[in-house]
Structures are given as C-alpha cells and as structure tokens.
Amino acid sequence: MSDLTFLTNEPGKTLRERFADLLRADTRQFDCLVGYFFISGFYKLYPSLENVAKIRILVGLQTDRSVHDLIQNAQRELPFASHAATQEQIARAALAELENAPDTAALETGVLKFVEWLRDGKLEIKAIPEHNLHAKVYIMTFNEGDRDAGRVITGSSNLTQAGLQDQLEFNVELKQRADYDFALAKFNELWATAVDVSKPYADTINQRSPYAHFTPYELYLKFLYEYFRGELNRPAELEGLYVPDGFKRLKYQEEAVLSARKVLEEYGGVFLADVVGLGKTYMAALLAQQLDGRSLVIAPPHLLDKDNRGSWVNVFGDFRVPHTDFESIGKLSDLLARDTAKYANVFIDESHRFRTESTQSYEMLAQICRGKRVILVSATPLNNSPQDILSQIKLFQNSKTSTIPNVRNLQGFFGGLAGALKGLDRQHDRARYFQTVQDNARLTRERVLKYLMIRRTRSEIVTYYGADLRAQGLQFPEVADPIALYYKFNPTENAVFDETIELLTQKFSYARYQPMAYYQGRQDARAVQHQRNLAKFMKILIVKRLESSFFAFRKTLARFIQSYARVIAAYRQGNVYISEKHANKLFDWLEQGDEQAVENLLAEGKAERFAARDFAPEFIRDLQADLKLLRRIETLWTPIQRDPKWEAFCELFARGKPLKKGKVIIFTESQETADYLAGRLIKEVEPKTLLYTGSSDEAVRKQVIANFDARAFHPRDDFRILVATEVLAEGVNLHRSNIVVNYDIPWNPTRLIQRVGRVNRVDTTFDTIHTYNFFPTEESNNQIKLKESAEAKIESFIEMLGADARLLTDGEEIKSFDLFAKLNSKKTLTGEDGAEESELEYLTEIRAVRDTQAELFKRIKRLPLKARSTRHVAQAARLPAGEPPALLSYLRQGRLDKFYLATPGVDEPSELDFFAAAKLLRPADQNEKRAIIPPDFYDLLAKNKHAFEQATSTEQDDATPKTRGGANDAYILKRLKARELRRYHGFTADDRRRSDERSASRRGGGASAQPVAAGARATSRAIARRAAGDSVVVFGVEADPKGFLA
C-alpha cells in the first residue's frame, strides 16, 4: 500500500496492510503498547514478523467486551498488588480468549508460532498492573542504515483483528525522529517497571489452552465432568430436613430428591419413576418439604387410608409436610367444586392411569394441574406407547411450546413417532414394526424423558449405592426365576378350548356392544368409535375369562347369553337401548381396567331408547347369529366337568415347600375367579384364606394390611393366604409374604411388575422372592412339549385376535413368541426387562476420580473447553470395520447436549447418543498416548458445527433457561446469577461449588472422542463460540488412517 499518514481500515488504508509494509522493510524491533492484546489478532501479523529480531508487547489488564462481559466485570474489581496476581490474570485472559477464538488452521499456526517465539526469546510480553492503560502505540525500529530510525503508529486500534482490519478506526503514522525518540523512551520507561508475563502466556498455551497436549483419558474425564456438571458436588440441600425416628436416610433416595427438585425448577414437572419398591412415596415427602406453597396429593383411595402405614396421609404426616390436602383419584369432580387455585404443588400417584386424554377424569386432572408444579409418581409411566407419556407431560408442559431442549413441539415430536408406525403391518412385517416400536421408545428416552424423569432400577441401586445400603443394614431380596406351571387339557378339553377361542375371535360379531355401527340416523362419530372400542374390549374380556378359569368363563358366557336375549327381545318390541349417558364413566373404567365395573354397568341396562326401525337389518341378523353361536359354545362346554387348573394349583400347594407354611399372595384379573378360588381354598386347602376384590369393604382392607403389610400399625396373623384381584396390585405393601402366584396370565408384563412389587420391597425380611405363573397346555409327560404347547396357546390367543391383541396386553407391543419368555423372566419381575444403559455407571466413575484423585480432578476441571486429544479406537458402536477417519463433536447450548460424528466424504454428520459417545471416548488404557492432529480436522469440525446450528436454529428458545414455580423464582434467579460468574471456565477455581451447578446461564463446556477403524489414530477437540448471549460448545475427535506420529 502507499505511504499514508492516516489509517482508517477503509479499503487500501488498513492498519494490517501498513504493518506488513513496514515490518518487512528491515525492521529490527517491534514494540507495542496496548490496552487490549489478543493472540487471535496477533496471528494476523506473524508472517510479517518472521524477519523481525525482537518483539516487545506491553499490555494493560483489560479484556475485550466481545469475549465475555462477566470476566471483564470481575477483573475490574480485582486488586492486583503483586506480580503473581498479574501473571495469573494474564493467563486467565489468554485462556478465555483462546476458548472463544475462531476455529481455523491459520489461527493455530499463528498461536504455535507465538509460543515458539516466546520460548526462543524473540518475543517478550509484560503487563502494567498499576495503570489503567488505554494507549495504543506501535513502534518500529529499523535496522541501522535504513531510511530512518523508525516509525510510530498511534490512534484507536488495539492489536486485535477488529483493530487491525475489521472495524473503522482512526490511526496516524508519525515519521518524525523526535516522535519516534519520545515514544521509544516512554515505552522503555514503562517496560522497566512492568511485570514479565511471557512465561504465564507460554505456560497457559502449552499446558492449559485448547492447543495443549491432553491424553485421551484426560479428555474422557473432561467429557464426563462437563456432561454431569450439575450432579457433581451438589450442595447438601437436604440437610436440616425433618425425618421421622427410625427412617434410614438412603443416598439413592436423597440424590433422587435433589435431581427431582432440579427438574421441577426447570420444567415445572417431574416423573418420580423408580421401579417398584424403592420408596417413591418417601422421596415425594422429602421433595415436598423443600417446596413452598400448599400441596395437593391425588392418589387411589387405598393409598390414602390412615390404617395403611405406607399411605400418603401417614408418610406426609410422619415427615411433617405442612399444608397438604389429600384426595382420591375418583373424586376429581369434588376437587374442582372447591378452590384448587390455592395449591402450588400437585402430587399424582399411579399417574399412568391418566395416559389417555379423551377420558373425563384426565380432563378434570388437567384443569386442576394448570399453572402448578406437578409431580407424577409411577413405576410404569411409559406403559404402552410413547403417546402415553405425552398425556402426562401435558399436565405441566405446553405441548406446542415446551421448554424441553430441542423438542419445543411435543405434539409434533410424538406425532412423528406415531407416524413412523403408520402403514407398517404388525402381522406381516413384524421385524420392521417392532424395530420401529423400539426406536420410538429409545427416542422418547433420549429426547424427552432424560430431562423430566428420575428412574433407577434395583440393579443400578445395588451396583452404585451398594455400600450405603450395606452400611444401613439393608439389602434387596433376591428375585428367583419365575416358575412356569402347566395345567393340562385332555384331548376333549383341548379341542373345546381351541374351538371356543376360534369362535369368539373369528365368528362372533359383538353386535350387541356396537349398535351405533348399524344406526341409519344421524350418527355421532365419537359415539360410534366408543362402541367399537367397547366391542373389542368385550372380546378381550371373554377371552381372558376363558384363560382365567372355567368357572369365570361359564359365568361370563351366561351373562352374554342373557344380555343378547334381552337386546333381541327389546328389538322385537321396537326398541334399542344405548348407554350414551354413562359413556364417560364406562370408558374411564375401561381405561382403568376395571372390568367388573364395566360388566355391572352393562347389566344394569342404564341407557336411552332408540327406535329399532332406524337400524340396518344386519343388526338383528348379527345379534341372532351371535346368540346362536353363544349357545353353541355353551353346549360345547356342557360335558366339561373337570377343572385342570385347580388340580394343578392344588398340586403346587401339596409339593411346594414355601407355599405350605409361608404367607401367599394369589392374583387374578377376574373377580369371579377370585371368588371361586377363595371358596375352594377355604374348604379344601387353607381355612385361613382372605379374599379381596373391588367389592370388598373397608374392614377387609384393614385385615389385608394387618396380616400382610410388614409395617402395619397393628399386625395380626389371622390369614395366611390372600386371594386378590388387580385392585391390590398397586400401592399396597404385602411384604410379610415373599410368594406371588399368578393364577391367570398377566398378559401385560407391566402388571406382573406391579404384582411382584407388592412383596419385593427394600425393607423386606426375606432373602428370596418366589413367583409362579400358570399356563394352559396339552397333556404330555415331556416338559419341553408342555412348554411348546403353552407357547402355542399364547400365540393362538394373540394371532387370532389380530390387531386387537394390543388390548389383550393393555396396549404393550409384544411379539407372541416373546410373551411367554417375558412372563417367565426374572428381569421382567424386577422391572429391568430391556437393554437400557445406565448413566450412573459414568457418573460413579467421575465421582470416584473426584473422591480419590483430587489433583487429577482439579486438573480435569481446569481443562479448557476446546481441549483435544488423539487415540486409537477399537471397533465400537455405529462404526463398522474400514470406516474412514471421523470427528466426534460434543456441542452444548443451554441445557441441550448433542454429539455429532463427521466423516470425510460424507455430507451429513451422524448424531450419537451419550452412551455411544462415551464408549468412543473411554480408553482401555489410562496411559494411552495421543498423536498429531490430521490436516482435515477443521473441515470435519465445521460440518459438525453446521449440523448443530441447523438442529437448533428453529429451537433457540428451547435451550434458554426457563423457570416455573411462583415464589421460588427469586431463589432460582439468585442461583442463576451466581452460577453465571462462578461457572465461567475462564476462571480456573479450586472451589468445588463450581461443578455443583449446571449452567442454566448460557455457557459451554465439554470433551471429545472419536471412533475409527482398528489401528488408526484419532484426534479430538472442543470449540466454543459465544455470540449474543448464546454459547455453542463443540468437542470433537478425528482419526488419521495414515498414522501420524505422536
């Protein structure tokens, strides 16, 4: 460029271009006196400085506002009375700058050159701690014999990219010898008293900056530290809470409460969803103590019974939870008639009962929960499909503007999951259908439930909290493998059984239960669909009765015949009666699985009248055909006098040692089977048998508690055997027994979990839990053939029902050939049936480092956000053999963590979950060395950053911290303000509080790793970019198949 006097950074007048001209023209020494200095600006000049013999930089202790307002404000308030403090301050500023610098190969080259010159003495840096330096003076001293002694440039530009070329500045070049002499003399005067910070700069870059060499193990630990930043070293927020005498303070429960409180603060609701028997009611009481405002507990009536020691009323009373009201699930209308606005917190037990939005009870509950904190308590919140969980989430989140990171439109997300199943044939495309079901469940966990749900299994508690349990003198009982018991049909019984199934599922129209399908007048589409659903339910009911007991089936068959006869008689008199008035109640009972209540309502015939002439002729024809078929079935069963299931049941009691003396719980879905069983048991096996069904009164419930609850206030020993229907499968402790007999098939494995959970409690005195399941089969002396026959019977049930089989299993998608195995699986009994991985494994690992390797943990906390490493990665998840080198990046925005894997030659990176990323990062050897970073690192990094920006561009609000909770707002905001400063990684503090609070204020952090083909080296790196208050953090790994040397 031409020799100018004024440099404004306009085209042809940039300070960078002028420096290039002057520095290359035999400049011997370059002195800079600046208030702001950034390596990321300096690197723009380094090519021009190659031939300069000496470079001296004198800086003030100011920082650029664009880097981060917080660090600027903090630094202005800190006194710098010593050289050590100044050096540390410079190191912090350098680290903060590099964590936010552009991600380019050119910058890295410039930084490495900067370090080289510091090491060689070519470059020196000093700082002035006592002065508030605002000068911008650049002095160039030419070689002797050059055109003159030197030049001075002064004005508004700092030594930054913006000051050098990007923004409008006003600088002047002084060429007079007097100006040069004065400037140099003043510079030397300041230089003599300044603090040398060359070594802190060099050490920061070499040891603490993103360009430092970190081992793969260090990077892996940094990844864990950042991911679990909110879990580590949490303050003892439960200290000072009241607990009743004798209550054992278990770590797994207290940590669940702390996590639940955090979720509740951030999202307005939380699922307490530990598997059965872990003490969710106690956790809820501890949580309630920490919440302000009045609380409302909604639970089944038997869980509000004061005689039940484990009821909500008693537990909240024991824990002295103030200002709490309790109401039965069945009395929501009574609640709405009162003032519900006074409640700040709503606890809902057995929340899975509200998985269907179309019921009247759900609509009332939604009205009660509006604007309140909602705590959903259930061991099985995700019972059937992901849509179940959406209904419950909508009790505290807006389904179209949620605050869940990156899933702002919950309705659209879950609609997409449902759409993935549309068009897939469950019968003919099984593999694809069930794979989609599994994928939907995984996506629901990863994208939604990980933010809202607290759920641990027993095996996780034993593995990761075992030491605390042992210290408290507690242990979980061993759950023995379930024992399959077969009741054998003789050839006649088998033929009748199979023919009955076929007739009921293939030939029967169930017209009596869906008259509106035949109505020729103006139809209500919703009423028609309700009746179709009822017809399906009645089909399932009678099939279940057939398997439950011959006695219950005969009773149900007789009612069907009587009901059909009445409907036909009414039709002949010109009338058809339809129960529209009680439709809501009917379908609430259907949803709750109260089959007896449905039958009772139908038997009462509470309905309105329609004219028979308004129905299609097919209606009466189908009614008559159904009745004829029912009477045919009745005739088929006339010669069947033996009860093979009862005979097998008696054999069990005769030969089963635990059943002879111990207390036994027998479950059945049918009240009539329960009546039949209890009557025969009292007469033929054990007079001390108690019956409990949906029609039992309060006195019987008290007998159940006194005789079978190990924590009963007034224990008794009047009964040894309890026969119960499903109404006792939830919420009641029966752990004076360790034996559960499932008299009929619990078609939905979730029911099995709930039943066994009644005896499988953490405070039981038994070492082992025993479970027995009955299955129908053909006669055989070969155990394998018995099992095969039983499996075939189950398959015939499901296959003949076709699409309606989902109702048989309460909506759970189960392959017929898998159901037998699931019902006889120990994992199913403990609620751990599935391949879900546990984050507790990784949290425990980083906690162990914190607790046993203090210096290493301190170093890990200090690792920069843009740390990187290289490693060999064995063949792992999602990377087949021969896969080209790739880069794994960990990105964060607010509460949202994402992991992307970029591969050369592939346009779109793959998104990984936490477990896949952790496996790729975790080295087999803690001493594994790193290698040189390959040249395409930054290209791959750019791909991952772009993928993250695309994923979050329409969801920016989702990563913004939001709070709910009325009076807690001030408390939350106070913490947010505090953590904004304390968690900023430019400040490397030893105080463990910095890891306690997960950054709800916008900031980044993390680590990285990379999967590659065997034998290749991988590199990882993290980058952070901050702009307009947002932060994006990227961690990556890339592999070099050529084998760069370490």
Residue with more model confidence, 643 or 540: 643
DSSP-assigned letter for residue 293:
S
- Judged on CB neighbours under 10 Å (0-12, 13-18, 19+), 503 is middle
What fold, for 6-208?
Answer: Endonuclease; Chain A (3.30.870)
Structure tokens at 64: 């650029």
Which amino acid belongs to residue 488? Answer: K
- Written as one string, the DSSP assignment of 737-782 is --EEEESS--SSHHHHHHHHHTT--TT-S-SEEEEEEEEEEE--S-
Q: What is the pLDDT of residue 894?
A: 82
Question: 68-108, pLDDT tens digit by residue?
Answer: 333 333 334 434 445 677 677 777 777 787 888 888 888 88
pLDDT computed for residue 523 by the predictor: 82
- Among 328-337, 431-440, 792-801, the minimum mean pLDDT is found in 792-801
What is the model's pLDDT at position 726?
85
What whole-number distance in Å separates Cα of residue 244 and Cα of residue 318? 6
* Cβ-count burial 632-649 (b if 16+ within 10 Å, e if not): ebeebbeebeebbbbebb
Q: What is the DSSP string of 194-214?
A: SEE-HHHHHHIIIIISTTS--
pLDDT at 81: 41
User: Between 963 and 904, whose confidence is greater?
Assistant: 904
- Measured in degrees and rounded to the nearest 5, phi and psi for residue 638 equal -55, -45
Instruction: Please spell the DSSP secondary structure of 122-143, one letter per residue.
Output: SEEEEE-SSS----EEEEEEEP
Tell the residue number behind the tokens 């990094």, with chain if given. 941
Confidence of residue 1 (pLDDT cuts 50, 70, 90): low
What pTM was computed for the model?
Answer: 0.72
Q: How far is CA 727 from CA 311, 608, 711, 812, in A?
A: 15, 31, 20, 20
3-state secondary structure of 30: strand
Q: Hey, where are the domains in the chain?
A: 6-208, 251-457, 478-485+642-829, 492-637, 864-1040
Rounded Cα distance, 895 and 267, in Å: 11
What is the token pair recorded at 922?
A: 């975790």
Task: Tell me the average pLDDT across 914-926.
Answer: 89
Mean pLDDT within 520-543: 86
The pLDDT value given to residue 674: 96
Residue 197 has pLDDT above 90, yes or no: no
Which among 150, 181, 156 has a CA at the least distance from the CA of 170?
156
Tell which phi-psi region holds residue 453, choosing left (phi > 0), alpha (psi between -120 and 50) or beta.
beta
Who wins on pLDDT, 518 or 816? 518
CATH architecture of 251-457: 3-Layer(aba) Sandwich (3.40)
Residue 67's pLDDT is: 31
Cα–Cα distance measured from residue 668 to residue 146, given in angstroms and rounded to the nearest whole number? 104
* CA distance between the termini of the chain: 43
For residue 389, give the H/E element and its range: helix 386-393
* pLDDT for residue 631 is more than 70: yes
Distance CA(373)–CA(269), nearest Å, equals: 5
Query: Could you write out the DSSP letters of every residue in 139-174?
Result: EEEEPTTSSSSEEEEEES--BSHIIIIIS---EEEE
Rg (CA), the chain: 37
Task: From the options 3.40.50.720, 3.40.50.300, 2.160.10.10, 3.40.50.980, give the CATH code of 478-485+642-829.
Answer: 3.40.50.300
Q: What does the pLDDT look like over 219-275, one tens digit per residue? A: 999 999 999 988 886 655 666 688 898 888 899 999 999 999 989 999 999 999 998
Q: Of 365, 360, 320, which Cα lies nearest the Cα of 346?
A: 365
pLDDT at 490 over 60: yes
Instruction: Supply φ then ψ for residue 889, to 5 degrees.
Output: -120, 135
Which whole-number Å values give the CA distances from 501 to 427, 485, 506, 546, 806, in the listed order?
Answer: 19, 21, 8, 8, 17
The burial of 582, by beta-carbon neighbours within 10 Å (0-12 exposed, 13-18 middle, 19 or more buried), is given as middle
> Are the CB atoms for 248 and 732 separated by under 8 Å?
no
Encoded amino acid at 146, one letter: D
What 8-state DSSP symbol labels residue 181?
A: H
For helices 840-852 and 458-471, give the axis angle rounded to 10 degrees. 30
Instruction: State residue 16 phi and psi, 5-degree precision.
Output: -60, -45
**847-880 pLDDT, tens digit each:** 999 999 999 999 999 898 888 887 777 544 444 4
Question: At a CB cut-off of 8 Å and minimum separation 6, what does 864 contact?
Answer: 95, 98, 99, 208, 209, 210, 212, 985, 1022
Comparison of pLDDT for 966 and 158, the residue scoring more: 158
**Two domains, one topology: 6-208 and 478-485+642-829:** no
Pairing, β 768-778 against β 868-872: unpaired
Q: What tens digit of pLDDT does each residue of 62-76 get?
A: 534 333 333 333 334
Considering the chain, what is the average pLDDT of its residues? 80
State how far the Cα of 125 lies from the Cα of 38, in Å rounded to an integer.
Answer: 12
State which H helix or E strand residue 996 sits in.
helix 993-996
Q: Distances from the Cα of 469 to the Cαs of 253, 462, 844, in angstroms?
A: 11, 8, 16
Q: CA 849, 852, 854, 855 torsion: positive or negative?
A: negative
Q: Is the pLDDT of residue 994 over 60?
A: no
Share of the chain above pLDDT 90, in %: 37
In contact, 1043 and 1016? CB cutoff 8 Å: yes
pLDDT of 989 above 60: no
Instruction: Determine which of 370-374, 603-607, 756-760, 1002-1006 has the lowest per-residue pLDDT on average.
Output: 1002-1006
Assign 3-class secondary structure to 1001-1018.
Answer: CCCCCCCCCCCCCCCCEE
